[in-house]
Amino acid sequence: MNRIYIARHGETIWNVEGRIQGRSDPELSPRGIEQSLALLELLKDRPLLAIYTSTLKRSILTAQPLSHYFGLPLRQRPELDEMAFGILEGKRVLCLDDGMREEWERFKRQRFTYRLPQGENYTDVIYRVQPFIEEILRNHRDQEILIVGHRVVNLMLLALLLRYPLEEISKVQQENGGLYLVEKDGEVRVYHHHDGRMVEGLLIGRDIRVL
pLDDT band at 167 (very low <50, low <70, confident <90, very high): confident
Report which DSSP code applies to 55. S
For residue 194, which phi and psi values (nearest 5 degrees)? Answer: -150, 125
Domain count, the chain: 1
Q: Where are the alpha helices (DSSP H) in 47-120?
A: 57-70, 98-109
Look up the pTM and report it: 0.96
Domain that holds residue 172: 2-209
Instruction: Return the CATH number at 29.
Output: 3.40.50.1240
Q: Which residue, among 129, 123, 36, has the nearest Cα to 80 in the 3D structure?
A: 129
Average predicted confidence (pLDDT) for the chain: 95
pLDDT digits (tens, 9 = 90+) for 100-132: 999 999 999 999 999 999 999 999 999 999 999
Average pLDDT of 65-78? 98
Active site residues: 8-9, 15, 58, 82, 150
